[in-house]
Structure 1
Amino acid sequence: MCGIWAIFGSDGDISFQCNSVHKIAHRGPDAFRIESIHHFQNSCLGFHRLAIVDDLCGMQPMRTFQHPYVYLIYNGEIFNFKELQKTFGFKQDTECDGEAIIHLYAKGGIEFAAQNLDGVFFFCLWDTANRKVFIGRDTFGVRPGFRVSTETGFMAVCSEAKGLINLSINQSAAMPTSQVEQFPPGNVETYSLDAQGRAFLTEKTCFHKIGEPPMYTTFPVEIGSDIKKNIRDLLTMAVRKRLMADVRVGCLLSGGLDSSLVTALVVQESKKLGVDYKIQTFSIGMEGSTDLEHARKVAKFLDTDHHELVFTPEEGVEAVENVIYHLESYDITTVRASVGMYLISKYIKEKSNSTVILSGEGSDEIAMGYIYFHKAPSAEEADEESRRLCRDLYMYDVLRSDRTTAAWGLEVRVPFLDHRFSSYYMSLPADVKMPQDGVEKHLLRSAFAGEGLIPDEVLWRPKEAFSDGVSSVTLSWYEVLQTHIDSRINDSELEEAAKTFSHNPPHSKEALYYRRMFEKHYPGMGRWLPYYWMPKWSKTNDPSARTLKHYKQ
Structure 2
Amino acid sequence: MTDTMTCRGPDAYGVWAEGHAALGHRRLAVIDIDGGRQPMTAGGDDPAAVLTFSGEVYNYRELRSELAARGHHFRTSSDTEVVLRSYLEWGEDCVSRLNGMFAFAVWDKQRETLVLVRDRLGVKPLFYFPTPHGVLFGSEPKAILAHPSVEAEVDAEGFAELLAMVKTPEHGIFRGMYEVRPGSLVRVRRSGIVKRRYWSLEAREHADDLDATVGTVRDLLEDTVSRQLVADVPLCTLLSGGLDSSVVTALAARELAERGSEPIRSFSVDFAGYTENFTASAMRETPDTPFAYDLAAHVGAKHENIVLTTDRLTDPEVRDAVLRARDMPGMGDMDTSLYLLFSALREQSTVALSGESADEIFGGYRWFYYDECLNADTFPWLAIGYQSRKTELLNGGLLATLDLPAHRADSYRDALTEMPDVPGEDAHERRMRVIAYLAITRYMPILLDRKDRMSMATGLEVRVPFCDHRLVDYVFNAPWSMKRRFDREKSLLRDAAQDLLPRSIIERKKVPYPATQDSTYTETLRKQVADLYADHNAPVRALLDEQAVRQVVDGPHAASNDENARAGLELVLQLDNWLSRYDIRLRL
Quickly name the TM-score band, shorter chain normalised. Answer: 0.7 to 0.9
| Counterpart position of 1:431 | 481
| Counterpart position of 2:25 | 47
Equivalent position to 1:443, from 486, 492, 497: 492
With over 3 angstroms needed to count, the CA separation of the structure-2 counterparts of 1:55 and 1:460, relative to structure 1, is same
Residue 71 (1) aligns with residue 50 (2): yes
Q: Secondary structure at the match of 2:103?
A: strand
Deviation of the 1:87 alpha carbon: 3.9
TM-score for both structures, normalised by structure 1: 0.77
With over 3 angstroms needed to count, the CA separation of the structure-2 counterparts of 1:269 and 1:130, relative to structure 1, is same
| Counterpart position of 2:361 | 366
| Counterpart position of 1:548 | none
The size of the alignment, in residue pairs, is: 467
The one-character-per-residue Cα deviations of 1:79-128 (angstroms, maximum 9, x if unpaired) are: 11222234453433321112222222222221x11111111111110111
Residue 83 (1) aligns with residue 82 (2): no
Deviation of the 1:57 alpha carbon: 1.2
* Aligned pairs (5 A) from 1:247-326: 247-275=233-261, 277-286=262-271, 287-289=273-275, 290-318=287-315, 319-326=318-325
Residue 413 (1) aligns with residue 413 (2): no
**Distance across 1 between alignment mates of 2:128 and 2:145:** 10
With over 3 angstroms needed to count, the CA separation of the structure-2 counterparts of 1:154 and 1:348, relative to structure 1, is same
8 Å contact 2:48–2:108 — kept in the other structure? yes
Q: Secondary structure at the match of 1:307?
A: strand
TM-score for both structures, normalised by structure 2: 0.73
8 Å contact 1:189–1:201 — kept in the other structure? no
Q: Secondary structure at the match of 1:409?
A: coil
Deviation of the 1:267 alpha carbon: 0.7
The one-character-per-residue Cα deviations of 1:427-484 (angstroms, maximum 9, x if unpaired) are: 10133324x44432122112222x1x1211112211111134xx35xx4798577656
Residue 330 (1) aligns with residue 329 (2): yes
With over 3 angstroms needed to count, the CA separation of the structure-2 counterparts of 1:381 and 1:280, relative to structure 1, is same
With over 3 angstroms needed to count, the CA separation of the structure-2 counterparts of 1:444 and 1:482, relative to structure 1, is farther
**Distance across 2 between alignment mates of 1:478 and 1:144:** 32
Residue 239 (1) aligns with residue 225 (2): yes
Deviation of the 1:288 alpha carbon: 2.6
**Distance across 2 between alignment mates of 1:381 and 1:521:** 44
The aligned amino acid for 1:456 is R
**Distance across 2 between alignment mates of 1:201 and 1:142:** 27
With over 3 angstroms needed to count, the CA separation of the structure-2 counterparts of 1:490 and 1:288, relative to structure 1, is same
**Distance across 1 between alignment mates of 2:83 and 2:514:** 38
Q: Secondary structure at the match of 1:372?
A: helix
Residue 355 (1) aligns with residue 369 (2): no
With over 3 angstroms needed to count, the CA separation of the structure-2 counterparts of 1:464 and 1:518, relative to structure 1, is farther
| Counterpart position of 1:4 | none
> Identity over the aligned pairs, expressed in percent?
28
**Distance across 2 between alignment mates of 1:467 and 1:25:** 30
**Distance across 1 between alignment mates of 2:533 and 2:146:** 33
Deviation of the 1:525 alpha carbon: 8.1
With over 3 angstroms needed to count, the CA separation of the structure-2 counterparts of 1:180 and 1:208, relative to structure 1, is same
Equivalent position to 1:158, from 138, 141, 147: 138
8 Å contact 1:166–1:175 — kept in the other structure? no
Residue 127 (1) aligns with residue 187 (2): no
8 Å contact 2:52–2:104 — kept in the other structure? yes
**Distance across 2 between alignment mates of 1:414 and 1:525:** 36
8 Å contact 2:360–2:444 — kept in the other structure? no
| Counterpart position of 1:208 | 199
Q: Secondary structure at the match of 2:41?
A: coil
The one-character-per-residue Cα deviations of 1:489-535 (angstroms, maximum 9, x if unpaired) are: 6699742699xxxxxxx9933333332233334454899xxxxxxxx
**Distance across 2 between alignment mates of 1:229 and 1:481:** 50
8 Å contact 2:121–2:182 — kept in the other structure? yes
Deviation of the 1:174 alpha carbon: 6.0
**Distance across 2 between alignment mates of 1:497 and 1:21:** 44
Equivalent position to 1:467, from 484, 494, 514: 514
The structure with higher relative contact order (CA 8 Å, sep 6+) is 2
With over 3 angstroms needed to count, the CA separation of the structure-2 counterparts of 1:397 and 1:480, relative to structure 1, is farther
The aligned amino acid for 1:305 is K
Deviation of the 1:273 alpha carbon: 2.9
8 Å contact 1:135–1:190 — kept in the other structure? yes
With over 3 angstroms needed to count, the CA separation of the structure-2 counterparts of 1:480 and 1:343, relative to structure 1, is farther
Q: Secondary structure at the match of 2:274?
A: coil
Deviation of the 1:210 alpha carbon: 3.4
Deviation of the 1:271 alpha carbon: 2.0
| Counterpart position of 1:60 | 38
RMSD of aligned alpha carbons = 3.0
Q: Secondary structure at the match of 1:428?
A: coil
Q: Unaligned 5+ residue runs, structure 2?
A: 154-173, 276-286, 376-427, 535-540, 549-565
* Aligned pairs (5 A) from 1:496-515: 508-515=568-575
8 Å contact 2:241–2:290 — kept in the other structure? yes
* Aligned pairs (5 A) from 1:483-522: 483=526, 487-488=530-531, 494-495=544-545, 508-522=568-582
The aligned amino acid for 1:278 is P
Deviation of the 1:321 alpha carbon: 3.3
Deviation of the 1:394 alpha carbon: 6.2
The one-character-per-residue Cα deviations of 1:172-229 (angstroms, maximum 9, x if unpaired) are: x869651122221111111125xxxxxx53422100113579xxxxxxxx99961111
**Distance across 2 between alignment mates of 1:81 and 1:357:** 19
8 Å contact 1:223–1:230 — kept in the other structure? no
Deviation of the 1:60 alpha carbon: 0.5
With over 3 angstroms needed to count, the CA separation of the structure-2 counterparts of 1:523 and 1:446, relative to structure 1, is farther
8 Å contact 2:38–2:52 — kept in the other structure? yes
Q: Secondary structure at the match of 2:3?
A: helix
| Counterpart position of 2:502 | 455
With over 3 angstroms needed to count, the CA separation of the structure-2 counterparts of 1:288 and 1:394, relative to structure 1, is closer
8 Å contact 2:314–2:521 — kept in the other structure? no
With over 3 angstroms needed to count, the CA separation of the structure-2 counterparts of 1:507 and 1:326, relative to structure 1, is closer
The aligned amino acid for 1:106 is L
**Distance across 1 between alignment mates of 2:143 and 2:530:** 34
**Distance across 1 between alignment mates of 2:84 and 2:222:** 29
Deviation of the 1:65 alpha carbon: 4.3
The aligned amino acid for 1:80 is N
Deviation of the 1:266 alpha carbon: 0.8
Equivalent position to 1:142, from 109, 116, 123: 123
Q: Secondary structure at the match of 2:33?
A: coil
Which region of structure 1 is more displaced relative to structure 2, 115-124 or 320-329?
A: 320-329
8 Å contact 1:467–1:477 — kept in the other structure? no
8 Å contact 2:214–2:495 — kept in the other structure? yes
